[in-house]
């Protein structure tokens, strides 16, 4: 594509109008903002409680990826939002593993062929995170994580062409309400999966170092039976 055509295509899109249309939907924007706030609360508590841990780089990328989802949805760039929300979940998952595996983290940085997949991380938690198997069962964590990841990965990899990308050309990029709802719902589900993962693993381990305000926010909305099973105080 010659630069002139790219210029024309990008200029043809009223990006500001797309964002304005998104922001006009109060319920949707509040839902996206609340989901990102939950990620922000976890991130801040990890930064404080795990200060100095080199694996916090995953936490920072997790938080940035969540905000990228909001920006991409507002611009009506739905398929790229799938990649951002998957990166959000993956980096959160990696943090729960690499924070206690500094040697492996150093290898990850040094060796391009070294790789740890989500199955290995989950197996690690089954073996080494106290009560993980019982707690994840009560929270429905692993089954939800696997289903969510498979569905979003199918979008990212283009396994079903046209999914989340109905625009016929760059110049026609504009809000598509039905698709936007699907993307926002999937993002909120992804944040909830991360929330449950942290409650069962690193968040539970570092809980005593969290602020009282953060504890209350992170436990808000959980059924009483779940709170009892987690044995996490709110003060």
Q: Look at residue 96 in the predicted model and tell me its pLDDT.
A: 98
Question: Is residue 154 domain-resident?
Answer: yes
Of these ranges, 69-73, 168-172, 222-226, the one predicted with the greatest mean pLDDT is 69-73
235: in domain: no
pTM score, two decimals?
A: 0.96
Question: What's the confidence (pLDDT) of residue 4?
Answer: 92
- Band (160; pLDDT cuts 50, 70, 90): confident
Determine, yes or no, domain membership for 6.
no
Q: What is the dihedral of CA 95, 189, 147, 193, to 10 degrees?
A: 30
Predicted confidence (pLDDT) at residue 161 exceeds the cutoff of 70: yes
Q: What mean pLDDT, rounded, does the chain reach?
A: 96
25 within domain boundaries: yes
The confidence score (pLDDT) of residue 235 equals 83
Q: Considering the domain boundaries, does residue 2 fall inside one? A: no
Residue 1 placed within a domain: no
Domain around 101 = 11-230
Neighbours of 158 (CB within 10 A): 12
CB 187 within 8 A of CB 85: yes
Angle at 214 between CA 193 and CA 60, to 5 degrees: 60
The reply to whether 180 falls in a domain is yes
Average pLDDT over residues 29-51: 98
Q: Please indicate, yes or no, if residue 172 is contained in any of the structural domains.
A: yes
**What's the mean pLDDT in 89-115?**
96
Q: What is the separation of C-alpha 177 from the centre of its chain, rounded to a whole number of angstroms?
A: 22
Specify whether the CB–CB gap between 126 and 120 falls below 8 A.
no
Distance CA 99, CA 57 (A): 10
User: Is the pLDDT at 94 greater than 90, yes or no?
Assistant: yes
For residue 1, the model assigns a pLDDT of 57
Domain count within the chain: 1
Average pLDDT over residues 215-228: 93
Question: By C-alpha distance, which of 109, 72, 110, 116 is closest to 93?
Answer: 116
Q: What angle do CA 146, 152, 156 make, to 5 degrees?
A: 135
Choice between 1 and 99, residue whose per-residue pLDDT is larger = 99
Residues near 27 by beta carbon (within 8 Å), at least 6 away in sequence:
none
Q: Per-residue confidence at 2, pLDDT binned at 50, 70, 90? A: confident
């Amino acid at each position: 594509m010659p630069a002139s055509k790219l210029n024309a295509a990008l200029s043809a899109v009223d990006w500001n109008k797309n964002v304005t249309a998104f922001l006009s939907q109060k319920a949707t924007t509040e839902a996206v903002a609340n989901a990102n706030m939950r990620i922000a609360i976890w991130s801040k508590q990890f930064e404080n409680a795990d200060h100095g841990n080199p694996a916090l780089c995953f936490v920072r990328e997790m938080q940035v990826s969540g905000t990228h989802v909001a920006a991409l949805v507002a611009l009506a760039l739905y398929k790229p939002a799938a990649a951002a929300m998957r990166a959000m979940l993956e980096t959160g998952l990696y943090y729960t593993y690499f924070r206690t595996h500094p040697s492996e983290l150093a290898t990850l940085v040094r060796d391009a062929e070294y790789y740890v997949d989500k199955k290995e991380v989950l197996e690690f938690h089954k073996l080494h995170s106290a009560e993980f198997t019982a707690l994840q069962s009560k929270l429905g964590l692993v089954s939800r994580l696997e289903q969510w990841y498979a569905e979003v990965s199918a979008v990212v990899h283009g396994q079903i062409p046209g999914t989340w990308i109905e625009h016929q050309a760059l110049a026609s990029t504009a809000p598509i309400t039905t698709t936007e709802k699907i993307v926002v719902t999937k993002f909120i589900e992804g944040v909830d999966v991360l929330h449950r993962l942290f409650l069962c693993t690193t968040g539970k381990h570092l809980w005593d170092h969290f602020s009282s305000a953060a504890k209350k926010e992170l436990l808000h909305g959980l059924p009483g039976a779940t709170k009892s099973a987690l044995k996490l105080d709110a003060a």
